[in-house]
């Protein structure tokens, strides 16, 4: 069965850290978005939230109730295939045929179900890269549920560093990594994408908003990697980013457009395999 029937979402002014120390029962987690925090519960907790807000001198901006399917844009999460992976919610019966690998993925309430065009395109392009080479060290920036990190590990990466600035995303990714027995190959850490660009990697996956990708491109270490998957880009922004990559000898290996979204795969021909 689905993990939650309804989601009770409290929008708070200000950043809330260590949210697990304040709430226990029915608490799903805290999603920090700049100066706004969103508290997720599976049942209403008006009094507890009000007590925290008063204690911290914050403000309750809104309260919303959504069923879980509505939160997932009306999509019913079910098994789907990319390459030889069968990606399946834990509450569904996924079946892997001979030569296929079953990956259980609980997205909780964070980004990375595999249904969004950007995530789906990243999975497809990641599979294409692993048909050509086997990048051993992967840097997954904006990991969300951990779906791309898991795919890279299952397709042959030896080490994956998965980064997200969102506390709830990190908790979700850690659970999915453990659920699939990949804790020895995937490390999940909390922080900003640009703060980890110095890490050694053969492949960068960055499914992020344009401002974060711009920040990555301002770092010289970015251009020393071999493979790049950049997504979360509208077509016009992607064309501008592609031009900047080409000027730095990073050639376009693959370009995948779905609706208004573009995913770019760059290859640094001058880097070592």
Q: Are residues 161 and 259 in the same domain?
A: yes
Domain ends where: 20, 52, 71?
71
191-209 per-position pLDDT tens digit: 999 999 999 999 999 999 9
Answer whether residue 101 is part of any domain: no
Answer whether residue 11 is part of any domain: yes
Q: Are residues 147 and 223 in the same domain?
A: yes
Q: Are residues 28 and 157 in the same domain?
A: no
Confidence of residue 76 (pLDDT cuts 50, 70, 90): confident
Instruction: With residue 178 as reference, give the H or E element that holds it.
Output: helix 167-179
Number of H helices, E strands in the chain: 7, 14
Answer whether residue 24 is part of any domain: yes
* φ/ψ (deg, to 5) at 199: -60, 140
Length of the chain: 273
Answer whether residue 228 is part of any domain: yes
pLDDT at position 19 is: 87
Full domain range(s) for residue 259: 109-268
CATH number, domain containing residue 49: 3.30.70
Please name which of 212, 205, 201 lies closest in space to residue 271, comparing C-alpha atoms.
201
Domain ends where: 50, 71, 92?
71
DSSP labels, 95-159? ---TT-EEEE---TTSS--S-SHHHHHHHHHHHHHHHH---SEEEEES-TTTHHHHHHHHHT-SE
CATH number, domain containing residue 214: 3.40.50.150
Answer whether residue 208 is part of any domain: yes
Answer whether residue 140 is part of any domain: yes
Q: Are residues 116 and 53 in the same domain?
A: no
Q: Are residues 119 and 229 in the same domain?
A: yes
Average pLDDT of 212-217? Answer: 96
Q: Are residues 258 and 127 in the same domain?
A: yes
Answer whether residue 122 is part of any domain: yes
Kindly state the tokens that stand for 217. Answer: 């491109």
Q: Are residues 136 and 239 in the same domain?
A: yes
Q: At what angle do helices 147-155 and 117-132 cross, to 10 degrees?
A: 20
Q: Are residues 234 and 125 in the same domain?
A: yes
Domain ends where: 22, 54, 71?
71
Residue 79 has pLDDT above 60, yes or no: yes
Q: Are residues 67 and 123 in the same domain?
A: no
Q: Are residues 67 and 184 in the same domain?
A: no
Compute the distance between CA of residue 17 and CA of residue 56 in angstroms, rounded to an integer. 11
Q: Are residues 151 and 231 in the same domain?
A: yes
Answer whether residue 87 is part of any domain: no
Other residues' Cβ atoms within 10 Å of the Cβ of residue 178: 13
Compute the distance between CA of residue 197 and CA of residue 21 in angstroms, rounded to an integer. 31
pLDDT at position 18 is: 83
7-61 per-position pLDDT tens digit: 999 999 998 888 888 898 899 999 988 889 999 999 999 999 999 999 999 999 9
Q: How many domains does the chain have?
A: 2
How big is the chain by its Cα radius of gyration, in Å? 19
Q: Are residues 140 and 230 in the same domain?
A: yes
Q: At what angle do helices 210-217 and 235-247 cross, to 10 degrees?
A: 10
Instruction: With residue 40 as reference, give the H or E element that holds it.
Output: strand 36-41
Are 193 and 163 within 8 A, CB to CB? Answer: yes
Residue 170 has pLDDT above 70, yes or no: yes
Confidence of residue 188 (pLDDT cuts 50, 70, 90): very high
Burial of 158 (0-12, 13-18, 19+ CB in 10 A): middle
Residue 272 has pLDDT above 90, yes or no: no
Residue 273 has pLDDT above 60, yes or no: no
């Amino acid at each position: 069965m689905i993990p939650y029937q309804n989601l009770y979402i409290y929008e708070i002014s200000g950043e809330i850290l260590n949210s697990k120390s304040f709430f226990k029962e029915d608490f799903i987690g805290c999603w920090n978005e700049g100066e706004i925090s969103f508290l997720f519960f599976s049942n209403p907790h008006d009094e507890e939230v009000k007590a925290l807000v008063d204690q911290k001198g914050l403000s309750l901006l809104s309260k919303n109730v959504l069923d879980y399917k509505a939160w997932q844009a009306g999509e019913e999460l079910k098994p789907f295939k990319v390459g030889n992976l069968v990606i399946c919610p834990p509450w569904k019966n996924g079946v892997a045929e001979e030569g296929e690998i079953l990956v259980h993925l609980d997205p909780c309430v964070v980004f990375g179900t595999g249904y969004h065009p950007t995530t789906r395109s990243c999975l497809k392009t990641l599979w294409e890269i692993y048909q050509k080479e086997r990048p051993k060290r992967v840097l997954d920036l904006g990991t969300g549920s951990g779906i791309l990190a898991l795919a890279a590990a299952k397709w042959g990466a030896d080490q994956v560093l998965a980064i997200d600035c969102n506390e709830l995303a990190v908790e979700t990714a850690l659970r999915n990594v453990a659920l699939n027995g990949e804790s020895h190959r995937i490390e999940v850490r909390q922080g900003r994408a640009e703060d980890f660009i110095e890490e050694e990697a053969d492949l960068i996956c960055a499914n992020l908003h344009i401002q974060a990708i711009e920040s990555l491109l301002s770092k010289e270490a970015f251009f020393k990697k071999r493979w790049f998957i950049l997504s979360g880009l509208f077509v016009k922004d992607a064309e501008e980013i592609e031009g900047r990559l080409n000027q730095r000898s990073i050639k376009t290996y693959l370009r995948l457009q779905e609706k208004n979204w573009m995913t770019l795969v760059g290859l640094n021909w001058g880097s070592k395999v």
